[in-house]
Amino acid sequence: VDPKAQTVGLENGETLRYDYLILATGVTTNYFGVPGAAEHSFALYTRAEALAMRDRLFARLEEVATNRPAAGISVVIVGGGPTGVEMAGSLSELRNVAQSVFYPELDPDRTRIVLVEMAEHLLTPFIPRLRKYTARTLAKRGVELRLSTTVKEVRGDGVIVNDGEFILADLVIWASGIKAADVVSGWGFPQGKGGRIEVDDGLCVKGFDNVFAVGDIALTPLPQVAQPALQGGKHAGRQIAALVSGEPTKPFNYWDKGILAVIGRSSGVAQIKHVPGFAGLPAWLVWIFIHIVYLLDNRNRFSTLVNLSVRYIFWRRHPVAIVGEVPTPAGQAPTQSTSTS
């Protein structure tokens, strides 16, 4: 991006000129300079990263089940925000419910899940009662919680935490922190914490009257979740329409619809404005309802509702694992892992 020339250069060499520009690039994973984190952990910010983590997990399960079933596996999750909590909950369900079906050779008690969080509590944005519920529920599901703990180094076989303890791990999942992509620093816009772009109260980039930033890339006090991004995008569009018609712009007024996190089947936490925070099955159902509502077209909504209902009713009889390619040593023909979907 060249704000002086008002142009955007594309990867294929094409150049686009703009009168007004909205920056909605999102952000990337922030490893906070922790040695080995970028090289030896799996991030979850993009779909491609999540798929890579999934394939590594199932490849490891199959390798252990085939060659050394008595050893078991260990997974360390770094970060106790919504992403880390939901990942820990999902992995605990995989171990407690599905693992015995897909990998009967493995003892679920030897599958270790450790959640590391530097703060004193999980889910910091939530009220204390919901934080305690989350910690209690994860612990009941067999997740080891390491609160007030920071990761000092990530190695190929585990992590070293602040008290010097080494936690063995077959897989390290990094769900802690975001920052702007390195390319953003070359665009000439003012940047703040994490390299995110500084904006005024109307989401206009400071010093640039015709450029707006929305979503995670904009440095605002709002949470880095979907609702501020969706509302911010609409606001930026209205701001540009006002500038084009010669009308005054307005500050961005965020409507907080609340925050949700799902821990696992029949368990979630919900903090909705003007409603007392609630947890358990009601919060889980609200989470599902909202995600179905935001799907495109009624056909997708209906099919998803039916699919989830069947999975809920027959969850013990029909656990589902969606797996991908299993990495094989060089010189061997690649194999496709057994899967159901």
Provide the CATH number for the domain around residue 294: 3.50.50.100
pLDDT digits (tens, 9 = 90+) for 177-217: 899 999 999 999 999 999 999 999 999 999 999 999 999 99
Domain that holds residue 154: 37-178+260-313
pLDDT surpasses 60 at 339 = no
Residues 152 and 295 in one domain: yes
125 neighbors 223 (Cβ within 8 angstroms): yes
Residues 190 and 61 in one domain: no
147 neighbors 80 (Cβ within 8 angstroms): yes
Residues 191 and 59 in one domain: no
How many angstroms separate the Cα of 163 from the Cα of each of 31, 144, 167, 333? 19, 17, 11, 44
pLDDT surpasses 70 at 293 = yes
The share of the chain scoring above pLDDT 90, in percent, equals 72
Structural domain count, the chain: 2
Residues 43 and 111 in one domain: yes
Assigned domain for 192 exists: yes
User: Tokens representing 240?
Assistant: 């540009």
The share of the chain scoring above pLDDT 70, in percent, equals 92
Assigned domain for 32 exists: no
Nearest-CA neighbor of 170 among 75, 67, 65? 75
Assigned domain for 150 exists: yes
pLDDT surpasses 90 at 335 = no
Residues in contact with 165: Cβ distance below 8 Å, sequence separation at least 6, in sequence order? none
pLDDT digits (tens, 9 = 90+) for 219-265: 999 988 888 999 999 999 999 999 999 999 999 999 988 899 999 88
Assigned domain for 326 exists: no
